[in-house]
Every structure is written in structure tokens, then in C-alpha cells.
Amino acid sequence: MIQACLNGDRTRGQHRTVPQTPDELARAAADAVAAGAVMVHVHPRDESGRETLETRHVVDAVSAIRAATPGLRISVSTRDGIVDSARRKLAHVSEWPSPDLGGPDCASVNWHEEGAVDVAAALRDNGSGVEAGIWTPMAASRYVGTNWPWQVERVLVELIPGVTPGSDGPWAAERILAALGMSPVPVLVHGEGRWTWRVLRWAQAAGYDVRIGLEDTVHLPYGREARDSAELVAAAVRSEPGTPSQWPVPDAPG
């Protein structure tokens, strides 16, 4: 399974085609699905292009994508930094409607962040699925010590240079996966920046679900800047020769 991450916190200054408005997200989602993605992850924006958790903007983004691509499963972000406190984050998420009334099908919850369990519970109460974001072995251990491994929709093993311990993406992934142990739900493994493509190919070879899009990188495997998330998805669908350690990786951060 390939999930397309269409925008994240990336700005137009970092890539000219980063989708921001509901209509732009809808077009980008349709293009990514045509390229081979089976679900999308988005960060809704307000009128000024800033990330937001406000209900009206979340519903507008989700509704536009559903109208363009009926039946597509849509995930949104609850990451720290979108609002200024865990309390405000929980208040916003608690207001979101159920998926049948315009809310997201699921949302990612980073398990190392303050209030993660409360946000996950609010999503569950709203009828939305939870994607447990695990960035470090410590977060994995904390997660498996709760009753949530049997309640989430999937686990997102996220490998971020400079944040996730380790100097190599696949090595870091193995350490987190070892701390997770046997998961009762699907596991999606993805990297960001310079780790994106090596982690993606490693994860595909290992049989895990993967993620790709402008949130994770703006570069194709061999260094050229991608036109959009759809071109990144198309590259992920294609097989590449060699082993992960042999694939060139752009020096510029993704």
C-alpha cells in the first residue's frame, strides 16, 4: 500500500506546486491516486496558507478530496506546532465531525507528543481511525505499554534525520520495529529528507506499507526535483535496480 503525503508543513517557497487550498488538495489527491496511491495524508490550511486544525478548514479539505475521488481514504495531521498547546489541539480535534459528516477517515497522532492518548481517544470517539506515529524506539516502547496497539488503524514508523536515533534510515527503522514487536495492525514505514528513498525501498522489500509525497521529499530517487506528489508516487511504484545502499540520494534536504 502506498499512502501519498501531499503537503505537510512545506511551503510554496520550498516547492511551487505544494497544494494548500481544498481544490488544490483535491486535484493533487486525484493525481496521486492515478499514479498508484491508495490513500492520502494531508495538512489542511487556512486562507493564508497556514496549517490549521479548525473544523471548517478540515471539513473543507476532506470534502473537496472526497468529491474529486469518492471512496478514497483520507488522513489528516494532528502534529505539534499547528496550534500552541496540547489543550488547544485536543479541543479542536474533539470538535471534528464523524467521517460521514465531513470529518477525516483517520488522523496521525505522534505518540511522543504531549496528550497523544487524549487526542487518539477523541478521534476514536468521533468515529475516525488513529494512525500511531512512532519516531523513536522510546516512543515505540511507550506505545506498546498501553492498550492502544489493538485500537489503532495502523502504525506509522517515521524515520526523520536528526530526530530519529541513528545515522542510517533502514538501521533506525529496524530498531523501532524491534521495540514495537509483533503489531496486530498494519505497519507503514517511511523516511523524510535524505532518508526518504532508501527507507522506502527497504520497506517495500521487507513487505511494509509505504508513504511518499511532497511532505517527505521534493526529490526523485536520482536527484531531480519532482513535479508534484504524483510523480513521486509513480517513482515509488516503479522498481529500481540495486540495493538501498547503492541508490543515489540527493544531498539537499527533502
Q: Which of 94, 145, 91 is nearest to 124 (CA)?
A: 94
DSSP designation for 149 = G
Residue 166 located in a structural domain: yes
Q: Residue 70: count other Cβ atoms within 10 Å of its Cβ.
A: 7
Residue 226 located in a structural domain: yes
Q: Which of 69, 79, 15, 17 is nearest to 43 (CA)?
A: 79
Residue 239 located in a structural domain: yes
CB 210 within 8 A of CB 3: yes
The string over 94-115, giving b where at least 16 C-beta atoms fall within 10 Å of a residue's C-beta and e elsewhere, is eebbebeebbbbbbbbbbbbeb
HSE-CB for 133 with a 13 A CA cutoff: 26
Q: Which of 133, 245, 239, 155 is nearest to 199 (CA)?
A: 245
Residue 254 located in a structural domain: no
Which structural domain, as residue segments, surrounds residue 80?
Answer: 2-246
Residue 165 located in a structural domain: yes
Residue 253 located in a structural domain: no
**115's grid cell:** 496528550
Give the count of domains, the chain.
1
Residue 108 located in a structural domain: yes
HSE-CB for 103 with a 13 A CA cutoff: 23
Query: Residue 239's pLDDT is what?
Result: 64
Q: Which helix (H) or strand (E) holds 31?
A: helix 22-35
Give me the tens of pLDDT residue by residue for the chain, a chain 254 residues long. Answer: 999 999 999 988 889 899 999 999 999 999 999 999 999 999 999 999 999 999 999 999 999 999 999 999 999 999 999 999 999 999 999 999 999 999 999 999 999 999 999 999 999 999 999 999 999 999 999 999 999 999 999 999 999 999 999 989 999 999 999 999 999 999 999 999 999 999 999 999 999 999 999 999 999 998 899 999 999 999 999 865 444 444 445 534 44
Residue 251 located in a structural domain: no
CB 2 within 8 A of CB 212: yes
Query: Residue 13's pLDDT is what?
Result: 81
**250's grid cell:** 540527493
For residues 33 and 158, give the distance between their C-alpha atoms in angstroms, rounded to a whole number: 22
Query: Residue 172's pLDDT is what?
Result: 96
Q: Residue 137: count other Cβ atoms within 10 Å of its Cβ.
A: 18
Residue count (the chain): 254
Query: Residue 120's pLDDT is what?
Result: 97
CATH code (residue 25): 3.20.20.70
